[in-house]
């Protein structure tokens, strides 16, 4: 397949390249350089290495909606929100409550980080399927 045909077929599709998902927006050959514009980056390759570089773009399935188990369901988000608002109210009425509020805030931050990690794991598993 000719280089320009291959580039044209890539436009609008998603690929994994160097461990990151890229959706190809535009491509062009500019003299001795092949340029690829993605939703994440602007990539340029020497034309003589273009076929090798393009072979590193692996087709990626479309992303699917996922549910995060750590905070989803059972009213956990509502409980966390209620706790945060209760702490704000307590801080307004009792400045001595600051240390306890900080401890609760740290716990909530940890829960959010765990949820982010779970989301990344789910995304990686979906990409491997």
Could you list the beta-strand ranges (E) of the chain: 14-17, 20-30, 33-38, 42-46, 58-59
Q: Is residue 68 part of a domain?
A: no
Using the predicted structure, report yes or no on whether residue 69 has a pLDDT greater than 80: no
Mean residue pLDDT across the chain: 83
Burial of 123 (0-12, 13-18, 19+ CB in 10 A): middle
Q: Do both 39 and 87 map to the same domain? A: no
33 and 80 in a single domain? The answer is: no
Q: Is residue 116 part of a domain?
A: yes
- Contact between residue 70 and residue 118 where contact means Cβ atoms under 8 Å apart: yes
- For range 19-23, the mean pLDDT: 88
Q: How many domains does the chain have?
A: 2
pLDDT score of 59 more than 80: yes
* Residues 55 and 89 occupy one common structural domain: no
Range 64-70 average pLDDT: 53
Greater confidence (28 vs 78) lies with 28
Closest by Cα among 70, 74, 73, 75 to 121: 70
**pLDDT tens profile 79-104:** 777 878 887 888 888 888 888 888 88
The strand pairing partners of 30, in sequence order, are 33
pTM (2 d.p.): 0.48
Domain that holds residue 86: 76-128
Quick one: 9 and 54 in the same domain? yes
For the chain, give the percent of residues with pLDDT over 90. 33
64 falls within a domain: no
129 and 61 in contact (C-beta within 8 Å)? yes
């Amino acid at each position: 397949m000719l280089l320009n045909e291959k580039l044209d077929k890539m436009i609008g599709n998603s690929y994994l390249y160097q461990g990151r998902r890229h959706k190809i927006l535009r491509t062009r050959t500019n003299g001795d350089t092949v340029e690829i514009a993605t939703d994440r980056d602007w990539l340029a390759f020497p034309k003589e290495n273009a076929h090798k570089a393009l072979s590193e773009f692996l087709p990626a399935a479309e992303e699917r909606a996922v549910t995060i188990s750590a905070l989803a369901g059972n009213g956990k988000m509502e409980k966390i929100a209620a706790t945060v608002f209760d702490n704000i109210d307590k801080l307004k009425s009792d400045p001595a409550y600051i240390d306890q509020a900080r401890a609760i805030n740290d716990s909530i931050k940890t829960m959010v980080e765990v949820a982010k990690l779970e989301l990344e794991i789910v995304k990686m598993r979906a990409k491997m399927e």
